[in-house]
Structure 1
Amino acid sequence: MGFVFSGMLAAAAAAVLASWAFNAVVHLVWRPRAITRRLRAQGVAGPDYRFFSGSLGEIKKLRGDGAGLQLDVSSHDFLPIVQPHFRKWIPLYGSTFLYWFGAQPNICLADVSIVRKVLSDRTGMYTKNLTNPHFVRLLGKGLVLTDGEEWKRHRKIVHPTFNMDKLK
């Protein structure tokens, strides 16, 4: 009886491990490849996905190279110091490209007309990313980080404050 129970326990553990391994392969290999393939078919290129780290290795290297740079007092060009990867990738891949934070895909939009469309969207297609809890604690759940009905309610309260007559 004990041998059968331990065999069932081992089979259950093996099934759980196989499920975790399958999910890891899907999340870390197949999903990034599928996303990359679909976006490249639509004309959105970007740096290649690296297993588990995505584009973070290249970002870290470029930030290390830019760490010794000093910003001129009269210059407002802080991109080579803060985000040197964008400075490198925009000329290579265009104004819209895909890059990876680990296995999480991110799309960079450097085209002003597309950014305007995304920011003025009222359909709810472009949701706000609240994955970083420190970001939420820093800004609070105000107008910047809300969506949907809650955003409409906040906007309705704040809108009269920015009326042109009151601003004058």
Structure 2
Amino acid sequence: ARGDWIWFRPKKLEKLLNQQGLKGNSYSLLVGDLKDGLTLIKEAHSKPINLTDDIVPRVLPLPYNTISKYGKNSFSWFGQIPSVYITDPQLALEVMIKFDKFQKYFKTTNPLIKRISEGLLTLEGEKWSKHRGILNPAFQLEKLKHMLPAFHTSASDMVSKW
């Protein structure tokens, strides 16, 4: 029972993810994909990057590599914990709407990190529902249309400074 978390639980999770149509590397004892992730990070940071290059392969090399290899809905392993990547917009919307069915893994006890990282993506339950209710009106299409000139001006100013 004590050793279940080392092998049996991750293998069971892997089987469940595969049954749901998600693909990823098979679980490796204790480290998962961490070794591959570190190799990908070193490789990504060893090359120069241009302003016009896609930054995702450099900033998130393991998720980028996993999604490229296994598809839009895939997973990788951080030790014994699977990290699920959902890039299908409909499924991502479902995850955001059904907040009570999908637990978020990011937890911290450090009060500073907790305060900085607190937001819609990390909140759960009633706090998530309250914050989403506050933010929803700001993202209605009609309101965003009126903000386009400000977006354009801000982006133009930033690009001209480069």
Q: Which of 118, 121, 126 matches 2:102?
A: 126
**Count of residue correspondences:** 143
State whether residues 48 and 55 of structure 1, in contact with CA within 8 Å, keep that contact through their aligned partners in structure 2. Answer: no
Q: Taking structure 1 as the reference length, what is the TM-score of the superposition?
A: 0.69
State whether residues 63 and 76 of structure 2, in contact with CA within 8 Å, keep that contact through their aligned partners in structure 1. Answer: no
Match of 2:160 in 1: none
Q: 1:29 to 1:126 in 2, by over 3 A?
A: same
Alignment of structure 1 residues 56-71 onto 2, 5 Å: 56-71=34-49
Please state how far the C-alpha of 1:52 moved relative to its aligned partner: 0.7
Match of 1:105 in 2: 82
Q: 1:78 to 1:152 in 2, by over 3 A?
A: same
CA distance in 1, matches of 2:137, 2:72: 36
Q: 1:106 to 1:159 in 2, by over 3 A?
A: closer
In structure 1, stretches of 5+ residues that fail to align are: 1-21
Please state how far the C-alpha of 1:161 moved relative to its aligned partner: 6.8
> Per-residue CA shift, 1:76-119, capped at 9, x if unaligned?
x1112111222322232111112111111111112122112212
Please state how far the C-alpha of 1:62 moved relative to its aligned partner: 0.9
The letter of the residue matching 1:129 is Y
- The answer to whether 1:35 aligns with 2:13 is yes
Q: Give identity over the alignment, percent.
A: 25
Q: 1:136 to 1:105 in 2, by over 3 A?
A: same
Q: 1:99 to 1:158 in 2, by over 3 A?
A: closer
CA distance in 2, matches of 1:43, 1:159: 31
SS at structure 1 position matched to 2:7 = helix
Q: Taking structure 2 as the reference length, what is the TM-score of the superposition?
A: 0.72
Q: 1:72 to 1:32 in 2, by over 3 A?
A: same
CA RMSD of aligned residues (A): 2.7
SS at structure 2 position matched to 1:53 = coil
CA distance in 2, matches of 1:126, 1:85: 22
CA distance in 1, matches of 2:15, 2:4: 15
State whether residues 69 and 81 of structure 1, in contact with CA within 8 Å, keep that contact through their aligned partners in structure 2. Answer: no
Q: 1:145 to 1:92 in 2, by over 3 A?
A: closer
CA distance in 1, matches of 2:23, 2:139: 40
The letter of the residue matching 1:103 is Q
In structure 2, stretches of 5+ residues that fail to align are: 147-162
SS at structure 2 position matched to 1:126 = coil
Match of 1:146 in 2: 123
State whether residues 98 and 107 of structure 1, in contact with CA within 8 Å, keep that contact through their aligned partners in structure 2. Answer: yes
State whether residues 52 and 102 of structure 1, in contact with CA within 8 Å, keep that contact through their aligned partners in structure 2. Answer: yes
